[in-house]
């Protein structure tokens, strides 16, 4: 996001906010049509532009023109977060602004990038002169920097933002730029960079993230995660390392003991309300003053940097009753809604108050005028980039979770121990995590259903079969779980390679996701004595899950040459639960 806040050639007009660009994208025609018809079509739907529709469409590489016709690159609508991801992918790899967009002097080649490269190869090293020879108008220093960033993002710009052309331009070669014919053929240029609109937020997923995939996709599906397991397995550490992975390796924040997008809060056994987390109004001094808690302060920090994931770790979360001290969050997290532009909003966790203490509080929480204005107008709500993670140990000193908590959280167990782990590297090798990997724009099933109808229908058939086994029990799932199942399955689709980079079938990816979400959202709610949870009940559930997974992916459990049988986490958990039942009581929790 920071790149585009500065990149005026991309969103040049004063009305071209990201939301407006998304509106433009989602209202464009999805078929080829003559240029005049295209302009007329868009003008009847959007009237808030400071540039022509044709310029914007070309500049953002949504359309290209050839022989008087406008051709769309994409055929589906998208969300705000995916638009960011597309633009970032285009900007860092494919030379945005669209090199065919700006007006050129005389009879220079059609493609700006080609012209710059040829100028350099012909010995012309002064970047200012090169740009002056291209554009009709003399560019400001700011615009020159933007053009430089757009075309040569890997090159050096000094602290004074003065463009410097040097030997680093040697990076320009055929590996980064297609063959010469692409520089003069607009259609070939765009065809060369065609990508699926539903996949561009997941370009170049690092296979090194595979072992952390369940954490990443669970967070994207619902930014409230429970990490359960025996003490000392690194639950809080993994939260810190996920926050660290959002920074470039070697950067100050990456090397810091505590990255600024991570906050640890130790839960105390005496917490029975939210005063320690959110805060409280004190009247000791005579005038009311709000004493802000660490959670509220961290919420404000997250609002100030909305494109960076912020991780709040509640350590030993169930040392106190979660339903009491975390009540406001549990209510607000269920109010998350995505509007038609993919912008997620929630109800306020601290409502706006007309008393002076409230305005003093917002001034204390942030120096960002825009964020404070939001707080003063709408109250303090949960930003979409805030990720709450609770670490959980289940023993006689802790509280169990109610279904209210379990229904609102994604649960992952961490009971495996690798005694050699952490001895070779100081930090976990997660790989670089982009905002699009962790921050979702879809909140409900309807947000992903129609764009992924076949996949979602497969998941729904599986869920219906499982729910039949839960009929007549308090464990039957409803719409909230339905939504999270669909989100989790869809969010896992891009992770279609194994740790060695080998392709996985879509059926396998869907079945793996269904297995994991069954463990997270269904089995985590099952507990009771033999009157509630009988052996026959667990046997029937086990059979339904296994049959359902094989129906989705017929060879899931088969072994072959160079292929291991899939190990199901939900079936393994059911085996544990059946063993526990021999004592007269069973539950998901160890």
Q: What is the pLDDT of residues 47-74, one digit of tens each?
A: 544 445 555 665 566 776 677 787 776 6
Give the pLDDT score at 299: 97
* Averaged pLDDT, 120-140: 62
> What is the rounded CA–CA span in Å between residue 81 and residue 84?
5
Q: Which residue has the higher pLDDT, 239 or 562?
A: 239
Residue 451: per-residue pLDDT: 79
Query: Taking residues 178-204, what's their average pLDDT?
Result: 43
The residues near 459 (Cβ < 8 Å, ≥ 6 apart) are: 485, 486, 489, 510, 513, 514
**Among 24-38, 104-118, 467-481, where is mean pLDDT lowest?**
104-118
Is residue 143 scored above 70 in pLDDT?
A: no
For residue 360, the tally of other CB atoms under 10 A from its CB is 14
Name the pLDDT band for 39 (thresholds 50, 70, 90).
Answer: confident
Q: Residue 39: is it exposed, middle or buried by C-beta count within 10 angstroms (0-12/13-18/19+)?
A: middle
Counting Cβ atoms within 10 Å, is residue 102 exposed (0-12), middle (13-18) or buried (19+)?
middle
Residues 6+ positions from 3 with CB-CB distance below 8 Å: 88, 91, 149
Output the pLDDT for position 566. 93
Q: Which tokens belong to 373?
A: 């204005």
In whole angstroms, give the CA distance from residue 19 to residue 340. 10
Greater confidence (37 vs 358) lies with: 358
Indicate the range of 71-75, 236-240, 269-273, 460-464 predicted with least confidence: 71-75
Residue bearing the bigger pLDDT, 385 or 126: 385
pLDDT band at 19 (very low <50, low <70, confident <90, very high): low
- Closest of 81, 330, 339 to residue 223, by C-alpha: 330
486: confidence class by pLDDT, cuts 50, 70, 90: very high
Q: What pLDDT score was predicted for residue 144?
A: 54
Pairwise CA distance, residues 493 & 509, whole Å? 6
Which range (79-83, 174-178, 285-289) has the least confidence? 174-178
Average pLDDT rounded to a whole number, residues 236-246: 93
Query: What number is the average pLDDT over the span 244-262?
Result: 91
Range 554-560, long-range pairs (CB < 8 A, 24+ positions): 554/507, 556/508, 556/511
Choose between 325 and 24: higher pLDDT: 325
- Helix extents (H) in 246-391: 252-255, 294-304, 322-325, 327-332, 356-365, 369-378
Does pLDDT of 215 surpass 70? yes
Are residues 299 and 380 in contact, defined by beta-carbon separation less than 8 angstroms?
A: yes
C-alpha distances in angstroms, 334 versus 85, 441, 566? 26, 15, 34
Per-residue pLDDT, 452: 87
Band (pLDDT 50/70/90 cuts) for residue 348 is: very high
Q: Are 366 and 303 in contact (CB under 8 A)?
A: yes
Question: Mean pLDDT over residues 187-204, rounded?
Answer: 41
């Amino acid at each position: 996001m920071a790149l585009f806040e500065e990149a005026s050639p991309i969103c040049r007009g004063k009305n071209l906010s990201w939301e407006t660009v998304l509106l433009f994208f989602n209202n464009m025609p999805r078929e080829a049509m003559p240029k005049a018809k295209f302009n007329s079509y868009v003008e009847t739907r959007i009237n808030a532009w400071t540039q022509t529709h044709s310029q914007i469409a070309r500049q953002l590489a949504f359309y290209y023109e050839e022989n008087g016709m406008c051709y769309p690159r994409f055929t589906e609508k998208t969300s705000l977060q995916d638009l960011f991801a597309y633009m970032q992918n285009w900007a860092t790899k494919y030379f945005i602004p669209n090199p065919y967009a700006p007006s050129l002097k005389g009879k220079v080649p059609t493609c700006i990038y080609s012209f710059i490269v040829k100028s350099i190869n012909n010995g012309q090293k002064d970047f200012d002169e090169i740009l002056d020879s291209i554009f009709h108008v003399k560019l400001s220093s700011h615009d020159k920097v933007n053009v430089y960033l757009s075309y040569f993002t890997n090159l050096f710009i000094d602290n004074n933002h003065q463009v410097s052309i040097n030997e680093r331009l040697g990076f320009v070669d055929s590996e980064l730029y297609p063959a010469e014919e692409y520089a003069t053929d607009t259609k070939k240029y765009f065809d060369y960079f065609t990508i699926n609109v539903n996949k561009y937020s997941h370009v170049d997923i690092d296979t090194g993230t595979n072992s952390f995939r369940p954490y990443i996709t669970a967070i994207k599906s619902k930014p409230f995660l429970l990490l359960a397991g025996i003490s000392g397995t690194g639950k809080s550490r993994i939260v810190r390392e996920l926050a660290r992975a959002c920074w470039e390796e070697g950067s100050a924040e990456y090397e810091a003991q505590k990255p600024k997008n991570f906050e640890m809060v130790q839960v105390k056994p005496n917490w029975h309300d939210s005063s320690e987390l959110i805060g409280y109004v004190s009247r000791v001094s005579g005038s009311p003053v709000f004493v802000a808690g660490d959670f509220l302060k961290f919420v404000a920090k997250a609002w100030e940097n909305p494109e960076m994931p912020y991780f709040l770790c509640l350590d030993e979360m169930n040392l106190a009753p979660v339903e009491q001290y975390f009540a406001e969050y549990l209510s607000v997290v269920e109010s998350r809604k995505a509007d038609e532009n993919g912008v997620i909003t929630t109800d306020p966790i601290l409502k706006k108050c007309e008393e002076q203490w409230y305005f003093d509080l917002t001034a204390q929480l942030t120096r960002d005028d825009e964020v404070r204005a939001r707080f003063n107008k709408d109250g303090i709500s949960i930003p979409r980039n805030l990720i709450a993670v609770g670490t959980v140990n289940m023993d006689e000193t802790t509280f169990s979770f109610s279904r209210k908590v379990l229904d609102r959280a994604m649960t992952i167990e961490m009971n495996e121990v690798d005694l050699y782990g952490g001895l070779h590297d100081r930090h976990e090798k997660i790989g670089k995590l982009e905002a699009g990997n962790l921050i979702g724009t879809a909140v409900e099933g309807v947000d992903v259903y129609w764009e992924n109808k076949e996949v979602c229908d497969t998941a729904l058939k599986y869920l219906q079969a499982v729910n039949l086994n839960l009929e007549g029990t308090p464990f039957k799932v409803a719409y909230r779980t339905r939504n999270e199942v669909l989100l989790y399955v869809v969010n896992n689709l891009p992770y279609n390679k194994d740790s060695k980079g080998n392709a996985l079938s879509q059926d396998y990816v869907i079945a793996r996701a269904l297995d994991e979400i069954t463990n997270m959202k269904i089995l985590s709610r099952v507990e009771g004595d033999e009157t509630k949870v009988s052996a026959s009940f667990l046997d029937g559930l086990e059979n339904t899950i296994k049959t359902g997974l094989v129906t989705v992916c017929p060879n899931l459990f088969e072994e072959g040459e160079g292929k291991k049988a899939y190990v199901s986490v939900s079936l393994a958990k059911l085996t544990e639960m059946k063993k526990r039942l021999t004592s007269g009581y069973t539950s998901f929790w160890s």
